[in-house]
Structure 1
């Protein structure tokens, strides 16, 4: 166990896996058979795992991070050996307290020395030449402006020729336009163009979806071209949406942050890991993002359902949700009750207010209280467990929100239904124009236990 007496559950361990393949492979290594030389000192666990070669893999996990070290060639974090070692430890089979071997001690000592080192001072934290940095920013802004003007012309040509022509033209023209947005140093615009190119011919109703996305892209173009006349927060959001990354600003926030959910999205260029946190004292929801190049998983990962005593620094854009981890104080601890939730109606109103501040918002985090999974003619949805009085005739009404198409194809849907058993749940997830994506749930039988759904 850690110093706080916490032994993670197998579900919390497997929630750290970067993908389903790692989850399955790690589960096979969660027994004593392939392991030797295992041990723990309360803050770390280590062991040797027999592989296909003559030399076993050296694997260690720093539980205070968590962070992982393994001599295997995998580019995933954590790899299947680290997951297997954590499963062994969570089941109480990783051996008793001991002293780490030299190969693990060197890595652990290096991590703890870096954690104990004072943060760098202000000297060197800013650009060496502020005037040069300002000139570079102005040149990049000018290139983005030219790119936005070119994209406006591309959208005008598309609408003038009719949406039916988009399907005949194929994806090549969109990729060419996206490449020009990359040349203009506007990766956000490039990403939107690639999404536009994937819509024609993608299924029933694609012209409607294409028109909607064209309108949002046009709105972003016009917002960039008029950014100097926008309110400060909206201008920061526009800069973020076109692809201008900004350093986190504002005061840091220290709290006991409950890890609500963690999942990944990938494309051919990048893997993005999203970690949702909620502060116990502030009630604030925060999003940590980490990235890995194609084929390499991001390293930042936390056990879902535990609490981090940590200090975060928020970003100005994205509704103040995104934050950077400044410092973590000690290992994760047990979580308390689930976050307070709202019925479906107020949750939709919350999303509407967020959308008013950021029209390009894909989703917004909400916690639904007392909702029940139910089937409808269009698929699964989450409905309020208790009806409310209708506004016109006073008849009872149950608000409901459909699950996204992706959620209805995930194994987590059946975990959600099984956890409910027909009864009400507390569910955390992301609400957007495509529906609700459930990420974590708390059932009535064990209200303090977080069930990861992704």
Structure 2
């Protein structure tokens, strides 16, 4: 029988906390005349009576996972799907000999779409013409030249936080110049922090932007993959088929965290995977609404990952050889005292990196004397960012060494999850 998800796994796929709250109530008080779960095909289905005469049909393809509901909600997954998952996790959904008619029809449509996608992937896309590439290169070069002049004017006038309108105009011109990634960096320049170190952070942002402007014309001359990194950081796209053409890395991947960045535009979802044999971390990145194609935190999958040619920590999910199963042991991690070396190597490969996924096997936490928490690295320490997340980790640790999942940043470690001895707890 398909192993039910834990409550934490259900909460991890929710679009927001409000959806989880609504789903918990609906799972208990809602009327569910039809529910069932099948092992082959692995599908969960249910009908929930709402205010109308026709019940809402909630469906979950557990092999994906993917979800669908007949309700009008724009949230994906909606509260009905989440409530159905919660009922399943509590043991309230019984095994069914066959999926419902609605589930069968939906799975057939998904299979047909997947076949079309595979056909398109097998057909080499038409490469852009040389004239198109030259026009794009000219736009980017002109946009970066203008950005360089703007940065020089800002510094010449005295380093200060630029006005929001000036930043918006500069970012818009970069978008017009087909350099969207560097435009996103420019948009963040006008955000002033309460942190007393913000002037240094602002000056560092100016320096990194100027370094990109300077490096881009020489990208083809840079060693190793650094030229590709520069082009990606400016915003030159890498086509999906190029990434999927990279040699796959097959491993049993522990899905250790899911983080949604609501501040980015568009919203970005980062699924962190850690290889049991390879001992490497990769992130699957989605933008906009979640598609449900990436695996769920707290599970393990035997799958191929295709590493991004211009990003050491990003990949695309390839062939999944076996369905996801619950994670039953702590994920493989690096010694905590090696974190500075891991971060140094990551920044050497990409100087514009803002975060790097890590799993630390023997993390010890201690108070910093100001109500916050530090990651003890032996001779030094690193702040844990986000007091609420840090308190969760400290409570789970209880003074013991724990396996900690997070993102290393220039300011400290952003905790994402912690292993409590039985399961991953989202921070």
TM-score scaled to structure 1, two decimals? 0.87
- Cα 1:63–1:298, aligned 2, differ >3 Å: closer, same or farther? closer
Question: Residue 16 of structure 1: which of 1, 5, 13 is its match?
Answer: 13
**In 1, distance between residues paired with 2:273 and 2:47?**
33
Paired residues, number: 420
The equivalent position to 1:215 in structure 2, one of 195, 207, 223, is: 207
What SS does the aligned partner of 1:185 have? coil
Q: Retained in 1: the 8 A contact 2:276–2:332? A: no
How well do the aligned residues superpose, as a CA RMSD in angstroms? 2.2
Distance 1:283 1:301, change over 3 A: same
Q: Which residue of 1 aligns with 2:166?
A: 173
In 1, Cα distance between the equivalents of 2:79 and 2:124? 37
After TM superposition, list the pairs within 5 Å mapping 1:136-285 onto structure 2.
136-164=132-160, 166=161, 170-199=163-192, 204-247=196-239, 248=243, 249-267=245-263, 269-285=265-281
Which of the numbers 417, 434, 438 marks the counterpart of 2:411? 434
SS in 2 for 1:218: helix
Assess if the C-alpha contact under 8 Å between 1:305 and 1:334 holds in 2: yes
Contact (CA 8 Å) 1:175, 1:197: kept in 2 or not? Answer: no
Change (3 A) 1:337 1:190: same
The aligned counterpart of 1:62 is 61
1:450 matched to 2:427? The reply is no
> Bigger CA drift: 279-288 or 210-219?
279-288
Distance in 1, Cα, partners of 2:144 & 2:117:
43
Q: Secondary structure at the match of 1:15?
A: helix
Q: Distance in 1 between matches of 2:46 and 2:277?
A: 38
Does the 8 A contact of 1:149 with 1:221 survive in 2? Answer: yes
Bigger CA drift: 365-374 or 201-210? 201-210
| 8 A contact 1:304–1:452 mirrored in 2 | no
Cα contact 2:283–2:357 (8 A) shared by 1: no
Q: 1:289 is matched with which residue: 285, 289, 304?
A: 285
- Shift of the 434–203 alpha-carbon distance from structure 1 to 2, 3 Å rule, reads closer
State how 1:400-415 maps to structure 2 within 5 Å: 400-404=381-385, 407-408=386-387, 410=388, 412-415=389-392
**Aligned-residue offset at 1:339:** 2.9
Q: List gaps (5 residues or longer) in structure 2.
A: none
Q: How far is the alpha carbon of 1:73 from its aligned partner?
A: 1.4
Moved more, 7-16 or 185-194: 7-16
Structure 1 residue aligned with 2:394: 417
Residue deviations 1:167-199, cap 9 Å, x none?
A: 5xx210111111100110000121111011223
Instruction: State how 1:114-133 maps to structure 2 within 5 Å.
Output: 114=113, 119-120=118-119, 124-127=123-126, 130=127, 132-133=128-129
Report if the CA contact (8 A) 1:147-1:184 is conserved: yes
Cα distance per residue 1:353-405 (max 9 Å; x no partner): 11112110111122222222221135211225xxxxxxxxxxxx55421112x
1:106 matched residue in structure 2: 105
Q: 1:29 to 1:413 in 2, by over 3 A?
A: farther
Which whole-Å deviations, capped at 9, do the CAs of 1:308-353 have from their partners, x for residues lacking one?
122221111122x211122223421132432333333311111011
Matched, 1:317 2:288: no
Give 3-state SS (helix, strand or coil) of 1:31's partner.
helix
Q: CA deviation at 1:256?
A: 1.7
Q: Normalising by structure 2, report the TM-score.
A: 0.92
Q: For 1:326, which of 318, 335, 348 is the aligned residue?
A: 318
Match of 2:353, SS state, is coil
* Alpha-carbon contact 2:66-2:291 (below 8 Å) kept: no
Helix, strand or coil at the partner of 1:53: coil
Q: Secondary structure, in 3 states, of the residue corresponding to 1:331?
A: strand
CA distance in 1, matches of 2:178, 2:120: 31
Residue pair 1:290, 1:300 contacting (<8 A) in 2 also: no
Distance in 2 (CA, whole Å) between partners of 1:223 and 1:418 is 45
* Cα distance change of structure 1 residues 273 and 121 upon mapping to structure 2, 3 Å threshold: closer
**Counterpart residue number, 1:30:** 27
* Deviation (angstroms), 1:203: 5.4
Structure 1 residue 217: Cα displacement: 0.5
Match in the other structure for 1:388: none
Residue aligned with 1:153, SS: helix
